[in-house]
Structure 1
């Protein structure tokens, strides 16, 4: 109920006004049954515009801190993130990744749509970064289709580090479902999981038109270096051919 209130009565009209969103490829979305929507990640508002433009309810994983605040602000945050389909997960500790994957599996077992960002974090500069293999592991274990989704223009509306949105034109491009049934029974094989992840990232690159960088975005944020600096450092460490 809260989701539809958010979508059609409260925030939906505002999001449509400032982002003038357009969706392409809705015919690629199944009318029922579980699926993973694998999206690039340019801005915080990706998690608002994607469910806004998808006719079915969908879910995302979100850090538990969004749901533990106190007072009016805390209550509003809990309502807001629950309304947009965010599922709280504890990202601290050694079992954080396993807990997140299990939460996604439970939601898919209910026949729902699960939105996931294979890059693991927002792109720092608008380029597409190397995907992590957790999404591939879930897809292989559950057998659900993976649908690539490209968010375009959300970083113009909500550039990194900004709070107040700017007028922009958002486009949500939904690609054809990817079938990984040829890898049935191979879940847990890290080489297969990497191959599946790379195939998903290639489709996202094609859909979004982003330049691909073969580095993890999180590593970039942690070091503060540019992709070029990290790649050049790696090249210097390799022996000459």
Structure 2
């Protein structure tokens, strides 16, 4: 058993080096794709903060883009709090997820990461936030969840809201939540996606197909939110306050990015509009290279 665990740890370490090496190699190609990203300069330089983001129906866009750009800016591996289903995943797929930084998203794991001053990422809506129905694009389906705020307050971790626009336009659902189809498929949906009480969104991409729509991605890191509780403020009230501040900040980011996208001639990745793509004010022409990253920390395979 010990030998098996040791072999797995080595395998994860090798994968981690390969993943982050690939991230460095692909930097020029990512720059050519003109992903719109701003707010990186406002990230705490010590890497000690909690990222709170929005899930989109595409799923992959925010999960990949947020850790990638934080790594490029700070040189730190983001530890994403994944669904509990990660614990049931085996083989090379789980090893790859852990190498990239994913861990099972329970409060104790999150607390342990914060005690180690890690950069942590959470999507409060979980899998439910990915299951968007007609008219729910860029809505935060948190259902009152505030555990992330409680965790950040307990460890005096600043919260950085981070929003991504573009992922909810790769596919669009054409059925409504609460409609006949959604209600009829709730049992099947729970078996397939693991979220109780939610049916299956029927989606389409390009035209009537499942080919993803070409969409530019827009990513913004907001200003850090101080979670230090004032001595005269009740604990429960402060948790709710931080949760609401984070949600309002994230909703504002998503609204602003949709305005940016609406005026962007490159929003559909038309090559002819590449040179006129909207860019953040004061944006760098290129991202910092691996040798110039500030506060560089070498990612490690365990945590």
Q: TM-score range by the shorter chain?
A: 0.5 to 0.7
Q: CA deviation at 1:165?
A: 4.8
CA contact (8 A) 1:48 1:84 kept: no
Q: Does 2:239 correspond to 1:193?
A: yes
Q: CA deviation at 1:129?
A: 3.4
Aligned residue in 2 for 1:156:
169
Q: Does 2:44 correspond to 1:30?
A: yes
TM-score (norm 2): 0.55
Pick the structure with more strand per residue.
1
Q: Does 2:64 correspond to 1:48?
A: yes
Q: Does 2:230 correspond to 1:183?
A: yes
Q: Give the greater-gyration-radius structure (CA).
A: 2
Instruction: Trace 1:162-241 onto structure 2 (pairs within 5 A).
Output: 165-183=212-230, 189-209=235-255
| Distance across 2 between alignment mates of 1:68 and 1:203 | 34
Aligned residue in 2 for 1:213:
none
| Distance across 2 between alignment mates of 1:166 and 1:49 | 18
| Distance across 2 between alignment mates of 1:4 and 1:156 | 33
| Distance across 1 between alignment mates of 2:25 and 2:111 | 28
| Distance across 1 between alignment mates of 2:251 and 2:228 | 22
TM-score (norm 1): 0.68
CA contact (8 A) 1:59 1:87 kept: yes
| Distance across 2 between alignment mates of 1:66 and 1:178 | 29
Q: CA deviation at 1:30?
A: 1.6
Moved over 6 A (4+): 160-164
Change over 3 Å in CA distance of 1:133–1:173 after alignment to 2: same
Change over 3 Å in CA distance of 1:158–1:10 after alignment to 2: farther
CA contact (8 A) 2:129 2:141 kept: no
CA RMSD after TM alignment: 3.2
Aligned residue in 1 for 2:53:
39
Unaligned residue ranges in structure 1 (runs of 5+): 90-99, 211-241
Unaligned residue ranges in structure 2 (runs of 5+): 1-12, 174-200, 204-209, 257-303
| Distance across 1 between alignment mates of 2:212 and 2:92 | 19
Q: CA deviation at 1:173?
A: 0.2
CA contact (8 A) 1:34 1:109 kept: no
| Distance across 2 between alignment mates of 1:180 and 1:209 | 24
Change over 3 Å in CA distance of 1:178–1:122 after alignment to 2: same
1:81 to 84, 97, 119: 97
Q: Which deviates more from structure 2 when the two are superposed, residues 26-35 or residues 3-12?
A: 3-12
| Paired residue total | 195
The DSSP-based 3-state class of the residue aligned with 1:156 is coil
Q: Does 2:150 correspond to 1:137?
A: yes
Aligned residue in 2 for 1:21:
35
